[in-house]
Chains A and B, each alone.
Chain A
């Protein structure tokens, strides 16, 4: 346990010293702020239109601005993550190998699982820190809306985002452990994410069994429910399994470093 914490602490230290983390988080937040503003304005405009139409035809206007904004905002956030997470994970293992510190870790009384878990939780923490400011926009919107919708919707959305991000981080770390070169790791991860997104996109409308299976396996698919305030147990199971699978594969990959030449 202490070993996991030791690795965790070291990783966190490195994140906050390296310029990459600051650049990535900074850009991410700028984009988020921009899109949040965009969606909010759009939603307000649409709701006012709906109200006017409702007044015209005598129908009650039923436009839930906060929920709409959350849904769209979290949707676009997920898209951003496909680009930003590779940058966060690319150096995880490749840097260690290039620096020679992997040899230190592998000759110390620490297991591969402890190394992998320490790194994973550190990247998850960085991710959470990255998301925190965006939560403030949502909260701001929440408290300003009348009537105030249940916080559950926002909380569920963020839970989904955390799980979705966790899955991408686990996959990104695994790919980083396959190579010594962080650029290759970044490209591989980005390509993998694109592939996943394409799979989801391609199989969403399809009716055939194969397509439905593929759609079920899509990382993005299970995320949709969360953005609408729904916690689907199958989605929870999916994400935990996904994360567990890639953590396991990363452990195996780290272990395999012992068998490689030089």
Chain B
């Protein structure tokens, strides 16, 4: 659906986007993750036909973004970082204007406006002037304009910025509901958002792609193994011995938690080795209470920081 091949964008001596390549399949939600200034917005602007790339090609729905720019723009809905709204217009007239410039025939306008308003929960603000709306509502109008012409591809630049927690959940649900029938690229700083909504993630830093994968793969690959956290009540030395004896356990670290007499331990195992059942068995056998047993995965936050602070060209497993 979307193919980006070796796209570069430079302004004089600065390179904003550096030989970036990735694809997005039909119906997929791709997350674009990166620090400020990484090149996310620039890449999106190239895809939406706003600006041309310095070199490389990009295709959306089979059309080249440079050669068939007008065609590409027919198939795309775009929400830039700041919602591109006309403050003096009412929500309804604004959406109708957008429909007109997106070449949607007038018979369909009423239905499409109703649909967009319903999806973004703006029904009761239909006749309200946009300048009277709060920031969160303006953001929703921006979202509505990206959807109103029912485009195949939707590109969202930080769609949940400025929204309250309830609205954020609504937007994420909306995005998930749109997947399948629409192909979506969304950029964000909010890491949990990526793991919650996206099928795949592209991590970009300083114009270069640093990682492309599913959120789950990224977290497990990078970790290079499993970590189990167990909480019980036992003499520390004994706990250390017992846990270390478990086959597959590579490193055991016991910490006394002090106040309630509980003792917790972290057991590391090689990738693919699930030692949880054995931990449980051992502890129960010794007659110790088992308060908590959970897996600790490297969060996407950790990966993100690691990848973007190391200046790594590819993901590196941690020790």
Binding site for B on A (CB under 8 A): 2-3, 5-7, 9-10, 13-14, 17-18, 99-101, 103-111, 258-259, 261
Contact = CB atoms under 8 A, between A and B. Distances in A.
A17 B11 CA distance: 39
Contacts of B83: 100
Interface residues of B, number: 30
B51 A7 contact: no
Interface stretch (B97-105, B219-227, B266-274): B97-105
A108 B87 contact: no
B258 to A, nearest CB: 53
A187 to B, nearest CB: 24
A103 B86 contact: no
B218 to A, nearest CB: 30
B199 to A, nearest CB: 24
Nearest to B129: A17
A6 B100 contact: yes
Contacts of A104: 78, 80, 84, 98, 101, 145
A28 B20 CA distance: 56
A99 B83 CA distance: 9
Interface string B78-93: 1010111111110001
24 contacts: A3-B101, A6-B100, A6-B101, A7-B101, A9-B100, A10-B89, A13-B93, A99-B85, A99-B87, A100-B82, A100-B83, A100-B84, A103-B80, A103-B84, A104-B98, A104-B101, A104-B145, A107-B45, A107-B50, A108-B98, A109-B102, A258-B50, A258-B51, A261-B11
Contacts of A103: 45, 50, 78, 80, 84
B74 interface: yes
A99 B223 CA distance: 45
Given A99-B86, A108-B102, 20 more contacts: A3-B100, A3-B101, A9-B97, A9-B100, A14-B86, A99-B85, A100-B83, A103-B50, A103-B80, A104-B98, A104-B145, A105-B101, A106-B49, A107-B49, A107-B50, A107-B76, A107-B78, A109-B102, A258-B50, A261-B11
B183 interface: no
B31 interface: no
Sorted nearest first, the 7 A-B pairs with minimum C-beta distance are A104-B84, A6-B100, A107-B48, A109-B73, A109-B74, A108-B101, A100-B82
A151 B102 CA distance: 45
A7 B97 CA distance: 8
Main secondary structure of the interface of A (DSSP, over half): helix
Nearest to B96: A6
A2 to B, nearest CB: 7
B101 A110 contact: yes
A26 B93 CA distance: 27
Contacts of A105: 101
A205 B102 CA distance: 54
> Which of B48, B87, B100 has the most CB atoms of chain A within a 10 A radius of its CB?
B100
A5 B71 CA distance: 20
> Which of B48, B85, B93, B102 has the most CB atoms of chain A within a 10 A radius of its CB?
B102
A107 B73 contact: yes
Contacts of B78: 103-104, 107
Nearest to A258: B51
A106 to B, nearest CB: 5
Contacts of B76: 107
Contacts of A100: 80, 82-84
B70 interface: yes
B103 A109 contact: yes
Contacts of B80: 100, 103-104
Nearest to A114: B101
B102 A101 contact: no
A3 B71 CA distance: 15
Contacts of B86: 10, 14, 99, 101
